Structure 1
């Protein structure tokens, strides 16, 4: 009897695997693929026509999934908007920045972090999103708050974690990681970010960004030098 149950369980497992393989061969996207497709579609639409003018039906159509599938992944348009911002930030911070400190000098780590940070905030999508929200700050305060939490807020947390870790290792003297992260981010943005958001610079070369970041890191490490001994 036990053998029968085992065989049935194995058969059920095999059948399930076969169905999954068949769905994949037929081109049906998996859940993770659908999630990514929805986020990508929503991002394009939010940036092109604005939050108000985008419907969940339009997002479903562009993502080539059903409206029910969209709601299965995201309960509301506001929740989807939050996820889009978080997704964009995650794309730019795929490296293990905390672990990187243990294998690289603090100067190299901050340069890499600064370069990633600048690539994100100077990107076309980030600038377009900022402009849209800046123009609708009074009418959509919740959306602006979501953007700040998932965008600048998450970036600030990443910076704080790096500085806390570096202080613990003795790589720099940093008693207040929050203050240090705010200063570092402010120095990074500088005139480059202001010119970009105002439309005074349509594109900034990588070499210019890297030189700017190197100067910022040099200045920052004079304010937060390594611990002696």
Structure 2
């Protein structure tokens, strides 16, 4: 990811190119997309496109990185670290579910999964730009809440991973494999509420521990 960031040159039409690329990749996938398609969708010349991105993989990684970073930053900006765990966790659950069930989240997940054997850096980029950022930011909050006596978390990274897995229970697999082509907001809310309840039952300040 660091290498991709160094190679990207920004300029006046950078966002225009990125938006065109985003549309093409989501519509056609990584393999079938071409730089010609991106230039047409972005309404720029091929020379302009190549002045920003030397190849398709670099362009795709920047699309994924920028979108995942935007999602993570938006969520982080809305979280008040002074709020109680139930409020923060419920908000986090809703954002995690919303992202993973969104067209962008699902399509990029499928693209990265299908291309990860040939281009492992794509999968790493998606993981580092999305799940890792959410994990780290949630882990930071868990440390603060534990220090305040509101939670009892001894491994913030593991606890954050567990919470993310709870948020994907049922819904994500069914959507990712096209078992369900859509999802009900009521069902998503039910999963979010249950994720918070289970997490608090394990890590809440008053939770009973085995042994």
- Taking structure 2 as the reference length, the TM-score comes to 0.81
**Deviation, structure 1 residue 99:** 5.1
Once the 2 structures are TM-superposed, how far is the Cα of residue 219 of structure 1 from its aligned partner?
1.0
Is 2:76 the counterpart of 1:96?
A: yes
Matched, 1:141 2:120: yes
CA distance in 2, matches of 1:227, 1:90: 35
CA deviations 1:90-141 (Å, max 9, x no partner) are: 3433143585121x22101110111011000011222122223333332332
* 1:54 shift after superposition: 2.6
Q: How does 1:1-229 map to 2 (within 5 A)?
A: 31=11, 34-93=13-72, 94-96=74-76, 100-102=80-82, 104-226=83-205
Instruction: Give the paired residue count.
Output: 197
Alpha-carbon distance change, 157 to 98 in structure 1, aligned in 2, over 3 angstroms: farther
Q: What is the alpha-carbon distance in structure 1 between the residues aligned to residue 87 and residue 196 of structure 2?
A: 9
For normalisation by structure 1, the TM-score amounts to 0.75
Instruction: Mark the runs of 5 or more structure 2 residues left unpaired by the alignment.
Output: 1-9
**1:68 CA displacement:** 4.0
Q: Which runs of 5+ in 1 are unaligned?
A: 1-29
Structure number with larger C-alpha Rg: 1
CA distance in 1, matches of 2:152, 2:77: 19
* Residue aligned with 1:171, SS: coil
1:174 and 1:224 in contact (8 A); partners too: yes
Q: Please give the secondary structure, in 2, of the residue aligned with 1:88.
A: helix
